[in-house]
Amino acid sequence: MNVYGWFGGALVLVLALWTADHYRQSENAAQQQVDRLAGEVETLTAHNTTLAQALTDRTLVQEQLAQVSQATRQMNSTLAMQSTQINRNFDELKRNDQAIADYFSLSVPTALGMRYARPETTDPVAYRAAAAGLRQPGAVPSAGAPTTQAQ
């Protein structure tokens, strides 16, 4: 073999060793990438689980908000009906108060006033005596011995 043969053989051997080393480095890099991607898959799986739980929680909150909204609408409807009824009652009271005020603004007929006249309403002295708690003589029957009929 000549020098070129040895040189060619050495070159083939160096290229074979370089190729084997290159494949080994590629294999190590690929394994590292697989390990890194496996870690990312675990992270993404955990993230997806968290997102799924958040979505479930959000759905529950939306359902609760829908129930609260429905209850609020019912309460608003009830309050509106009650407010309408209260306004009707208040208007009726105002009409009645106006009718009563109109009646009281009229003078009392003389015959009616005389029919119910009492000394307490027509005599200032009797009014003051009644207001002070003084009894007029004869207002209360005198105490006597009980009769057999009363027992």
Residue 128 pLDDT more than 90? no
pLDDT tens column, 71-118: 999 999 999 999 999 999 999 999 999 888 888 888 878 888 778 777
Mean pLDDT calculated for residue range 28-44: 92
Compute the half-sphere exposure of residue 3: CA atoms within 13 Å on the CB side of its CA: 0
Q: Which amino acid would we find at residue 50?
A: T
* Residue 134 within a domain: no
| Counted domains in the chain | 1
* Residue 120 within a domain: yes
* Residue 49 within a domain: yes
* Residue 48 within a domain: yes
* Residue 15 within a domain: no
Q: Give the structural domain span for 110.
A: 31-128
Under DSSP, the state recorded for 132 is T
Q: What is the pLDDT of residue 107?
A: 84
Q: What is the pLDDT of residue 83?
A: 96
* Residue 146 within a domain: no
Residue 136 pLDDT more than 90? no
Residue 125 pLDDT more than 90? no
Q: What tokens appear for 73 in the block?
A: 């609408």
Cα–Cα distance between 150 and 129 in angstroms, integer?
Answer: 32
Compute the half-sphere exposure of residue 13: CA atoms within 13 Å on the CB side of its CA: 6
pTM: 0.43
* Residue 123 within a domain: yes
* Residue 98 within a domain: yes
Least confident of 51-60, 108-117, 141-150: 141-150
Least confident of 106-110, 119-123, 144-148: 144-148
